[in-house]
Structure 1
Amino acid sequence: MAKRLGKRDRNTNITEKFNFRVNEQIRIPEVRLVGENLEEISDIVGQEIEPGTVYPTRRVREWAQQSELDLVEISPNASPPVVKIIDYNKFLYEKKKKEKEIKAKAAKTVIKEIRFGPNTDDHDFEFKVRHARGFLEDGAKVKAYVHFRGRTIVFKDRGELLLLKFLKELEDYGAPEALPKMEGRRMIVMVSPKKKK
């Protein structure tokens, strides 16, 4: 059975971060009670509880105490506010876990590099296009660049045409974040995968 929160727990930084009112912090007279565990709570308190029904806050708080759980306000802007009778520590843990997963997913953007020379032949070009398509289909970004060695820097226009042709070949798989641009001795373009419908 879950342990109810003490006053110290309710004032943690986590509570402030997620901004949920809990137990005695919920001072409005009536609340709408929801949750998947209400049948179980009904058995504990000896009273049938209907999900989505409006109840006096004091009574719902008593049910939470009898169940050794917490009364948590999950939708403060609803009229009346929506609450659940749950284990608040577990609830916060799940929230933090979900937030972490979202951040991790965002951080997992893979960037694959494809390098060309200004004189790349057709066979090599097609080979690299096939690789780029595979990367984009797998959800990775593709950073393609033309590297100019020594005097080949005079062929910037050739490098730009090569990258524009590369983008044309990939238009069904990805979209450029910007037009090709020079960075040092490289002309670079970044291609993001198209979202799957």
Structure 2
Amino acid sequence: MESRDRERDSTRINERIRAREVRLIGADGAQLGVMSPEAALELAEEAGLDLVEVAAAANPPVCRIMDYGKYKYEEKKKKAGGKTKGSELKELKLRPGTDEHDLQFKLKQARRFLLEGDKVKVTVMFRGREMVHREHGYKQLDRVKELIGSLAATESPPRMEGRFLSMILVGNREEIARVKKVEAEAAKAAEAAAAQAPAREDAKPGPDAGETHA
């Protein structure tokens, strides 16, 4: 699937950049000068991002360090004419070795984003030799889908973009409405219980209650 996606995408990224030298722009927009594509790719890897050729016709070609998957999503959203206006794309970053405790913590964030009406891009970042075992990344995404359950559906299935394996989750409106209703009722019940607690304390008989005085 990755090879077919790249055939449709003419943008050169990472190892596909074949120029002898490139002019590099950092992730923050800073001009980092002219260097070999190998040196530029090393800087991108250190930042956990991609090296993307943004001006192939320039001499030398201009490359930028960025999250290519997120860049493509934003471009697609612009071309769609802002149909998804009002909904933001939040990102959840994992590693192939993210443990269950950290995963549960991050999923609380994802759940909150979905309940607020945002989409969530779940990304597994690979470094170095981790790319050899991409199946660990797919397992992480499968675990995320399992834990999120019916709260969200997969809008964009898992796909490799450079060293990033990503999928996009979109909230299930009916399930979100149900969860919000349950949470609102629970909060209301908790408030009512808290309000009744002082009243019960006041109703308790004092130490002299029931005594008869001569």
TM-score, L = length of structure 1: 0.45
TM-score, L = length of structure 2: 0.42
